[in-house]
Structure 1
C-alpha cells in the first residue's frame, strides 16, 4: 500500500513539473459588449483573428485565399456554413475527406500546448477514442497511413461527417483560446445581453470584471428599486423594452398603463434611434411615455437614498425640491429654465415621495425581476464568476478606475465611521454587493443602497465621475450643466509612476505588469490611443455597441496575451452574421504588439503555474516523509 502511494506521488510530481514547462495558454480580453451579441459571438468564434492566423500558418502555400476564407468560416459557423453549401450542391465524399483532414491538422496544431489529459477532457464523448487516435497520429506516411484514412472514410460512409466536422470546428475554437476575460458592461444599449450571458455560461474558462451597467442589473435583482428604475429607464431610452419583456419575461403592463394615463407626447423622451430594428409607432409611444414615468420615479427613489445615507455626501444631487413654479430650478445658486417638464406625479409638499400607484408599480416590478428564472440564472452566474477587479498573471483587470485625488493619492471615503481607499475601498464595495445579493428580500439596507452608489457615486470605482447628470440632461437646456467631471484617475493613468503605485497597491510588480481597463470609449477618430503610460495601461473599450461607433471610429478592441506577449486588436464594425457567412467576410482586424516577451512564457510563469508548483513542492515533502518512514521501518526490523 505504501509503495503504491509512493508511486502515485512520483507520477504526479513528474506530471506537474512537466506541465510547468508547457507554453502559456492564450488569454482573450473583451470589454463593454453592451448587448452586441453578433459581433461578440463572431470575435469569440474567431479568437480575435487567432484562428485565421493558424489557418494561414499551415495552409498559406496549399490553399487559395478563397479556400482559406471558406475553411475559416467552416470553423467559425460549422452548422450554418455546411447548410449553406449543401443548398448550392451536394457535398462530395472528397470534399468531406479533405475538410476533415484539414480540421484534424488544425486541432492537432492548436492543442499542441496542452497536456494529452486536458485535450482528452475536451473531446466530445461520442468520438473521443477516434479523435484521440487521429490527433496523436505519429506515423502519417507508412505503417498507419491506410489506418487513418480508413477511419475518415468510415466516418463519411456512416453518415457522420457533418457531425464530425462540426465537433472538430468547435474543438479548434476551444483550443485556440485557453481563458476569456470580460472586463465589464455586458448589459444595456445593445439588443441581446441575454444571449451574451447564455454564450458565456457555455464557455470553458472565463472570469468577469463587473461594469457599471452590470451593477445596476445586479442591484435591481438584489432589491434596489433605484437601480431597477435605472434599468427600465435605459431600456426605454434605447428602445430595448423587449429585452425586459421577451428575454426575461418582465411584465410591464402596469407601468405602461400608468404612463399612458399620466404622461403625454414629449419628443425629448423619444427613444434613441435603434440601429438594430425599426420600432413600431406603438413601441415609440410606449417607450416615450414609460421613460417619462420611470425617470420621475427614479429621481424620487434616488433622493430617498441620498437622504437616508448622508455618508454618501450626495445632497447636491437633490433636484426636485429646488424647482420653482414648475418652470425654473435653482442649482448651486443659479436659476435655470426647465424644459420637457413631466412632473405631474410630484407632490411639491413632499417631492421625493412616490404616489401610491408608483409604489405599487415598483413593488410589482421588483417582484417580477426577482421571480424571473432566467434573470436569476444570469445574475447568479455573474456573481459566481464576477468581481470588481482581478489580479491575473501579473495584470490588474478592472472595468472603471481606482479613485484618486488630483495629487495621485488614493481617494479616501468614510462609511459607517470607517475610512477606505485604494484596494480596501473596492474590497469594501464588493463585500456589500455580495451581502445585498445574498438577501434580495431586504430592499433599503446599507449594502443595497451601496450598489446604487457604485452606479453613480462620486467615489465609485465603476462610475468614476463627480456626478451623474441624468436630471440635467432631461430637463435643462444649458449644456454646461450636463458636464460630468471625470475622476483624476483618467488623466493620471497616463503617468507610469501612477500606474506603478496602483499596481503596487494590488500586490503586483511594476516590471511586466499592466492595468487593463474598459468603461471609457477610446476616441480613435480623435487620435486617442488605447495604449497609455508607456504600455502599462491598456483601455480596450473601443465601441462594440453601435451606439458608440461614431464616437470611437471602430467596432471594438480586444486583447490577446499568449506565450509570446500581448497584442491589441482593433476591429472594424461587424456587417452581421448572415452576410458574413454568405460572403465569408471576416471582421477586418488590425493587430498591434503591446508587449513582446524576450523569453517565451510558460505555465510556470502564470497564476495556475504557481498553484501547480506549490502542489509539486507539497508532494516532494510528502515523498521525503514516506521515504524516511520506510528507512526507519527497515532499521527497526534489522535491529529486531
Structure 2
C-alpha cells in the first residue's frame, strides 16, 4: 500500500513531469528567496469607514508619496509632487481634460520610472502574471529596461510612448500603469479585526478586499458577532440589528443584504407608540437581546456571564417576538450577499496570526488579576494561552464548515474573558466597563515577552500587534506598550472614536529595512485631498530582510526540498 508521501510525490510528478521543468522551478524559487521582503501594512478597526479605507488603499498609507519624493524631489516642486500623487490616487478625477502631448509624455515617463522602482522587489514572472491585459507586452518592455540599457533604448521607449499618445490611448495607459503601481506598492495587507458596525459601508470595504486578495484578517468582536448571526445564533442576530438601528445603518441590512425589517418595525412601534421609530426599534431589540442572553446564561453557567444582565426579567418571549426572531434568522442564514462576505471572512480569517516575527490579534490574551494566563473550563477541559486560542480557532472553523451550534460566538462577542472582547460590559447598564487585566499588564515588558514566548516568539525583533482599544493620543497615551514590545494600532478610523483619540487611526508598515508606525491626522473634508501623517520608527533591521527570512520563505524552502526529492527519485528511476 502506498504511503501518503508516495501519493504526494506521484501528484507532484504529474505537475512537474520532466527533469528540466523541475530544475527550472527550483531555480525560480531560489531567485524568489533572495528578493527583498515585500512591504506589509497592518490596519485595525475600520468599522465600515469606506472613504478612509479607500484613501488608505489609494495612497498606500503615504508610501507612494514617499517613493515619488525619493525619485523626483530634485526635478519636481512640492506642488508638482502633490499633483502627481493625486493623479495616482484618483486618476479618474485628476486626469486632465485637455493637456499637451509634452505633458503626457513627461507624465508617462515618470509613471514608468515609479513603476520600475516599486516592482524591483518582484520577479519578472510575478509582474507578467499580473499583467493579464492588453498592454502587457508594452509595460513589460518599458519597466524592465536595465539602467545600462536606458541610453540605448531611450529613443525606442519614447517612440512607444509617442505612439500611445498619437493613438489617443494615453489616459487608458496611465490608468493601467497606476493600477500596477498600487498593486505592487503593498505586498500583504493585515486587517486586525472589526470591519463591521458604526460606519455605513463595511460591505464596500469587504468587496474591495475580496478583489485585493493578498489579505488576512484577525477576527474582531464585531466580526464574530456578524459571523454568529450568519450561522443563525439568535442573540447575535438581534444584536446586529440593534447596532444597525443605533448607528442608522438599516440600508446595509435591507438594501444590500436583503434582510427585511418591516415586521420588526411594526411590532416595535406598537410596543413603544410614544417613541420615534428608530428608538422604538432599538428598545424592542434590546428586550429581545435580554431574553436571548438570559437563556444562554442559564444554559452555559460555566461561562460565568451572570453579570451581563442586572435587571433580570423572568418574562419569556411572546409568540410575536418568537416570530420576529424566526423571520430574522431565516433572512440572515439565507442572504446570498451576506454569505459571500461571511465566506470570505471565515476563509481569510483567524483568531490570531503568527507571521514574520510578529503576533497579530484583535483583542487581548486574557490574564487573571495576578497577570497569569486565564484558565478556561469551557470545553470539558482546562485551556489557557495558545492552547485556548488554537482550540477556539478550530471550533470557529468547524462551526462554519459543518454549520454547528454557534452559541460560543456570543461569548466571544461580549464575554469578560473573551480574547475578542476582554471587557466586562453590563447590557442593561451601558457605560459601565471593566477591562481585562491584560490591558494593565502589557505596560510591563516582561509580561509582553512572556506572552510572545507563549506563542513561540523569542527574537529581539518580535512584537505583539494589537487592535480593539482606541489609543487616547490627545490625553498623552502612547500606542507603544511594554517598552515597544506591543503596538496598539486602533487609533480611531471610526469617526465616533476620533473625539476620544485625537487621531484618525494608525497604519503599521513593515518592509525589508524595518518597521514604522504612521499616525493619521484627523481629516476634515474630502479624502481626495491628501491626509497628513506622523511617522515613528519602531525598529530598524540590522541587515536587510529577504523573502527567505519570512514565513513565505519557509514555505518556499519546503516546496524546493520536495522538488529536489522528486528530482532525485526520478533520476533513480523510482518514480
TM-score interval, smaller chain: over 0.9
Match of 1:23 among 36, 43, 50: 36
Q: Take 2:356 and 2:461, find their aligned partners in 1: how far apart are those partners?
A: 10
Q: Take 1:510 and 1:490, find their aligned partners in 2: how far apart are those partners?
A: 23
TM value normalised by structure 2: 0.93
Shift of 1:234: 1.3
Q: Take 1:251 and 1:141, find their aligned partners in 2: how far apart are those partners?
A: 62
Structure 2 gap ranges (5+):
1-12
Shift of 1:511: 2.4
Match of 2:124 in 1: 116
Within 5 Å, give how 1:372-383 maps onto structure 2: 372-383=335-346
Helix, strand or coil at the partner of 1:207: strand
Q: Take 1:485 and 1:427, find their aligned partners in 2: how far apart are those partners?
A: 26
Helix, strand or coil at the partner of 1:485: strand
Helix, strand or coil at the partner of 1:297: helix
Match of 2:251 among 237, 242, 245: 242
Shift of 1:624: 4.6
Within 5 Å, give how 1:443-454 maps onto structure 2: 445=405, 448-454=406-412
Shift of 1:415: 1.9
Shift of 1:483: 2.7
The verdict on how the C-alpha distance between 1:265 and 1:521 changes in structure 2, with shifts beyond 3 A counting, is farther
Match of 1:227 among 227, 236, 255: 236
Match of 2:533 in 1: 589
Helix, strand or coil at the partner of 1:208: strand
Helix, strand or coil at the partner of 2:152: coil
What are the Cα deviations for residues 98-141 of structure 1, in whole angstroms up to 9, with x where unaligned? 21111111110000011111111122421111110111123655
Within 5 Å, give how 1:493-512 maps onto structure 2: 493-512=442-461
Shift of 1:626: 5.1
Match of 2:106 in 1: 98
Choose 1 or 2 for highest CA Rg: 1
Q: Take 1:310 and 1:4, find their aligned partners in 2: how far apart are those partners?
A: 59
Match of 1:472 in 2: 429
- The question of 1:81 aligning with 2:94 is answered yes
Structure 1 gap ranges (5+):
267-284, 322-347, 474-481, 631-640
Within 5 Å, give how 1:325-404 maps onto structure 2: 350-351=314-315, 353-404=316-367
8 Å contact 2:309–2:427 — kept in the other structure? Answer: no
Within 5 Å, give how 1:127-138 maps onto structure 2: 127-138=135-146
Q: How many residues get paired?
A: 560
Helix, strand or coil at the partner of 1:414: coil
Match of 1:143 among 145, 152, 166: 152
Shift of 1:4: 8.7
8 Å contact 1:401–1:462 — kept in the other structure? Answer: yes
Q: Take 2:214 and 2:427, find their aligned partners in 1: how far apart are those partners?
A: 37
Shift of 1:15: 2.1
Match of 1:187 among 178, 181, 196: 196
Match of 1:54 among 63, 67, 83: 67
What are the Cα deviations for residues 227-260 of structure 1, in whole angstroms up to 9, with x where unaligned? 1111111111122222212222221100111111
- The question of 1:568 aligning with 2:496 is answered no
- The question of 1:34 aligning with 2:43 is answered no
TM value normalised by structure 1: 0.84
Shift of 1:494: 1.6
Q: Take 2:152 and 2:246, find their aligned partners in 1: how far apart are those partners?
A: 67
What are the Cα deviations for residues 371-391 of structure 1, in whole angstroms up to 9, with x where unaligned? 222111101100010111111
Match of 1:609 among 540, 553, 560: 553
Q: Take 2:277 and 2:178, find their aligned partners in 1: how far apart are those partners?
A: 44
8 Å contact 2:515–2:538 — kept in the other structure? Answer: yes
What are the Cα deviations for residues 496-538 of structure 1, in whole angstroms up to 9, with x where unaligned? 2211221122122242211000000000011111011121100
Match of 1:311 in 2: 302
Q: Which moved more, 1:420-429 or 1:166-175?
A: 420-429
Shift of 1:320: 4.0
8 Å contact 1:185–1:211 — kept in the other structure? Answer: yes
Q: Take 1:116 and 1:502, find their aligned partners in 2: how far apart are those partners?
A: 41
Within 5 Å, give how 1:6-21 maps onto structure 2: 6-21=19-34
Shift of 1:207: 0.2
- The question of 1:456 aligning with 2:431 is answered no
Match of 1:214 among 204, 207, 223: 223
Shift of 1:8: 3.0
Q: Which moved more, 1:207-216 or 1:399-408?
A: 399-408
Q: Take 2:458 and 2:162, find their aligned partners in 1: how far apart are those partners?
A: 55
Shift of 1:593: 0.2
The verdict on how the C-alpha distance between 1:107 and 1:357 changes in structure 2, with shifts beyond 3 A counting, is same
Helix, strand or coil at the partner of 1:159: coil
Match of 1:599 in 2: 543
Helix, strand or coil at the partner of 2:517: strand
The verdict on how the C-alpha distance between 1:240 and 1:141 changes in structure 2, with shifts beyond 3 A counting, is closer
Match of 1:68 among 62, 65, 81: 81
Match of 1:291 in 2: 282
Match of 2:9 in 1: none
Helix, strand or coil at the partner of 1:568: strand
Match of 2:4 in 1: none
Shift of 1:570: 0.1
What are the Cα deviations for residues 466-502 of structure 1, in whole angstroms up to 9, with x where unaligned? x2222012xxxxxxxx432111111111222211221
8 Å contact 1:241–1:287 — kept in the other structure? Answer: no
Match of 2:477 in 1: 528
Q: Which moved more, 1:610-619 or 1:128-137?
A: 610-619
Match of 2:6 in 1: none
Q: Take 2:394 and 2:17, find their aligned partners in 1: how far apart are those partners?
A: 46
Match of 2:171 among 139, 162, 166: 162
Q: Take 1:513 and 1:354, find their aligned partners in 2: how far apart are those partners?
A: 51
8 Å contact 1:554–1:571 — kept in the other structure? Answer: yes
Q: Take 1:436 and 1:183, find their aligned partners in 2: how far apart are those partners?
A: 21
Q: Take 2:329 and 2:103, find their aligned partners in 1: how far apart are those partners?
A: 55
Helix, strand or coil at the partner of 1:28: strand
Q: Take 2:320 and 2:153, find their aligned partners in 1: how far apart are those partners?
A: 77
Q: Take 1:549 and 1:146, find their aligned partners in 2: how far apart are those partners?
A: 52
Runs of at least 4 residues off by over 6 Å:
none
